[in-house]
């Protein structure tokens, strides 16, 4: 795996060419952000939707608007955090990404993690959670912080789009954001940036 990237933009431009994801045949473009997060918080969603596909930026539609509102409730704005997806291209009709599609974007996401070395990874929905903590149910594990072999804590949340379809989940998401804030507030020392390249490449 190539590891000598100088910027996120370089990572995305490299993997937009060097990936075997079949979804790129039907998608308008890859979807990504290029500014590292000042807060050290990295959110991972599932896959881009229609608006994201058109604009080339993650979470710019209805789910993104809700995500921004949730961030504001804990004193952050979208510019303070980094948002990405397990899969960088829109699946047709917004279907779930297949295992193969997720696998083909795996090194791309690893490169983002390696470059950013986030303080915490927040997974939005079951596809992102499954990438780090396999075989757990989102309905049981949301709001929980998981230890991960890399040393980067992984915090599970519902996907904001799920709460747009099922308003009962809005309260869970609001509570989970409050828990995330407590975690960030009580973290006295900045997380040691000691993750080795090998650790992250194992992900």
- Residue ranges that bind ligand URA, judged by CB under 6 A: 31, 45-49, 52, 58-59, 63, 85, 161
Pick 170 or 191: Cβ nearer ligand URA:
170
Pick 59 or 195: Cβ nearer ligand URA:
59
Query: What contacts 101, CB < 8 A, 6 or more positions away?
Result: 21, 22, 23, 47, 87, 89, 91
Angle ∠(180,106,95) on CA atoms, nearest 5: 80
Pick 49 or 118: Cβ nearer ligand URA:
49
Select the residue whose beta carbon is closest to ligand URA and give its number.
Answer: 45
In the numeric block, which tokens belong to residue 183? 């975690």
Least Å distance between CB 85 and ligand URA? 5
Residue ranges in 38-105 assigned as alpha helix (H): 50-55, 62-73, 99-104
Pick 30 or 49: Cβ nearer ligand URA:
49
Pick 32 or 195: Cβ nearer ligand URA:
32
Least Å distance between CB 55 and ligand URA? 10
Least Å distance between CB 22 and ligand URA? 18
Query: What contacts 119, CB < 8 A, 6 or more positions away?
Result: 39, 40, 41, 152, 184, 187, 190, 191
Least Å distance between CB 5 and ligand URA? 22
Q: Are 122 and 132 in contact (CB under 8 A)?
A: no
Q: Are 32 and 8 in contact (CB under 8 A)?
A: yes
Least Å distance between CB 32 and ligand URA? 10
């Amino acid at each position: 795996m190539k590891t000598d990237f100088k910027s996120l933009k370089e990572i995305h431009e490299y993997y937009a060419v060097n990936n075997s994801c079949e979804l790129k045949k039907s998608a308008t473009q890859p979807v990504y952000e290029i500014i590292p997060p000042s807060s050290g918080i990295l959110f991972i969603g599932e896959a881009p939707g229609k608006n994201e596909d058109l604009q080339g930026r993650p979470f710019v539609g209805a789910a993104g608007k809700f995500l921004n509102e949730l961030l504001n409730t804990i004193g952050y704005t979208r510019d303070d955090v980094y948002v990405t997806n397990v899969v960088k291209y829109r699946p047709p009709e917004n279907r779930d990404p297949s295992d193969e599609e997720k696998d083909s974007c795996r090194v791309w996401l690893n490169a983002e993690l390696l470059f950013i070395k986030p303080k915490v990874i927040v997974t939005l929905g079951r596809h992102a959670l499954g990438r780090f903590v396999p075989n757990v149910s989102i309905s049981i594990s949301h709001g929980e912080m998981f230890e991960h072999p890399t040393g980067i804590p992984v915090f599970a949340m519902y996907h904001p789009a799920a709460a747009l379809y099922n308003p009962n989940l809005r309260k869970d998401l609001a509570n989970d954001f409050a828990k995330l804030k407590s975690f960030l507030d009580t973290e006295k020392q900045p997380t040691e940036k000691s993750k080795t390249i090998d650790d992250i490449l194992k992900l």
